[in-house]
Amino acid sequence: MASLEARNLYKTYESRDGAVTALEDVSLKVTDSEFVAILGPSGCGKSTLLRILDGLTPPDRGEVLMDGKPVERPTQERGFVFQSFNLFPWRTARGNIEFGMELKGVPKSERRSAAARLIGLVGLNGFDGKYPHELSGGMQQRVGIARALAIDPAVLLMDEPFGALDAQTREDMQDELLRIWATAKKTVIFVTHSIEEAIYLSDRVIIMTPRPGRILASLDIPFERPRSEAHRTRAEFSALRHEIYSRLKNVR
């Protein structure tokens, strides 16, 4: 069981140019094993929302509940995947993946076998001894995903994880993520500004307004799983893409 609920979140940042309201009365509920995409224009508060859901940033008002209990700081119940990979450059792929388990005090032999399993799961067999600079962007992000999965979180929070990848690698990573999600059964909240990526991956797409970020709509994605390339060319896929595009455009 892992549900995550945000209730009436507000967040304003103070900056040199004055106050910036990033979130205004944002509420949402994500249920167990659901894959939810959050879509919105740049600067609308998506990262802020994800960081608050993780407990990395406190809201000014409102609360986050995981399985009914308040979220106040990052814990091992949630894994976070960053857009910029954020790997430790002085650690190998395996060392990065083992990091959270070390903090948790998992014994070395157990860490090794868990890391080996995750390296296989994200398709990095043979690369466990490589340092981040020896890996492509797609491979680094696979390490980022494995690292987040290593602590066996119930919820995976992903902030534009494929934004820095080229189109082909990005599509490969989407399929990889769906395969992992189907195997590991996590609740996923996936931030993106790609309409197509949001539809392809998720059970539900949440659309945010430009700053201050509010929830504009929540759309169910009716496509069966497993998803495949053929979904992208369906008429219903284009219709959904068009609908979401129009909604985003009309609030600008």
Ligand X SMILES: Nc1ncnc2c1ncn2[C@@H]1O[C@H](COP(=O)(O)OP(=O)(O)O)[C@@H](O)[C@H]1O
Report the side by side order of strands in the sheet with 155-159. 78-81, 155-159, 187-192, 35-39, 204-208, 215-220
CB-CB contact of 206 with 34 (8 Å) = no
The burial class, CB within 10 Å (0-12 / 13-18 / 19+), for 62 is: middle
In the complex with Mg ion, the residue whose CB is nearer, 47 or 92, is 47
Does 47 bind Mg ion (CB under 5 A)? Our answer is yes
- Only one of the segments 29-37, 45-53, 100-108, 229-237 lies at the binding site for ligand X (rule: CB under 6 A); that segment is 45-53
Q: Give the shortest CB-24-to-ligand X separation in angstroms.
A: 11
**Angle formed by the axes of helices 137-150 and 167-184, nearest 10°:** 20
Q: Does 192 bind Mg ion (CB under 5 A)?
A: no
In three-state secondary structure terms, 160 is coil
Count of residues touching Mg ion (by CB under 5 A): 2
Choice from 17, 18, 19, 42 touching ligand X (CB under 6 A): 42
Instruction: Determine if 48 is a binding residue for ligand X (CB under 6 A).
Output: yes
Enter the DSSP assignment of 76.
Answer: T
Q: Which one of the spans 14-22, 91-99, 181-189, 219-227 is the region binding ligand X (CB under 6 A)? A: 14-22
202 binds Mg ion (CB under 5 A): no
CB 38 to ligand X: min, Å: 9
| Euclidean distance between CA atoms 154 and 3, whole angstroms | 9
Name the site residues for Mg ion (rule: CB under 5 A). 46-47
Name the site residues for ligand X (rule: CB under 6 A). 13, 15, 20, 22, 40, 42-48, 211
